[in-house]
Amino acid sequence: MKPAGVVRKVDQLGRIVLPKSLRKRYQMNEGDPVEILVQGDHIILERYRPRCVFCGSMEEVKEFKDRYLCEPCMNEMGQLHNR
Ligand SMILES: [Zn+2]
């Protein structure tokens, strides 16, 4: 992790404006979901990507009945059905 060279003040509602240059660089557009992650003393912003409800994986995730499942978990469920 390295400093982006930007210092911003948090407003009274807890908001921080992300500089346009960073939004452009990380392709964050108005209305895009952003996930807030924490790691020790750090707060990390990441473009939101759905996670599998069972294993937390972000790879090969597909929507199924308003939930997200990864391909391996989906296959495992399929195998349970065939037992
Ligand atoms: Zn999974």
Q: What is the mean pLDDT of each run of 10 residues along the chain (83 residues)?
A: 88 95 91 93 91 95 94 92 75
Centre of ligand 1 to C-alpha 32, Å, is: 24
β-pairing verdict for 67-70 and 61-64: antiparallel
Other CB atoms within a 10 A radius of the CB of residue 65 amount to 5
Centre of ligand 1 to C-alpha 51, Å, is: 8
Among candidate residues 59, 79, 76, the one with its CA nearest the CA of residue 68: 59
Whole-prediction pTM: 0.61
Class of the CATH-defined domain 1-48: mainly beta
Q: What would the DSSP string read from start to end of 43-68?
A: EEEEE-----TTT---SSEEEETTEE
Residue type, 14: G
Centre of ligand 1 to C-alpha 73, Å, is: 4
Centre of ligand 1 to C-alpha 47, Å, is: 20
**What pLDDT, on a 0 to 100 scale, did the predictor assign at position 1?**
79
DSSP state of 79: H
Question: So where are the chain's domains?
Answer: 1-48, 50-83
**What pLDDT, on a 0 to 100 scale, did the predictor assign at position 71?**
96
**What pLDDT, on a 0 to 100 scale, did the predictor assign at position 4?**
81
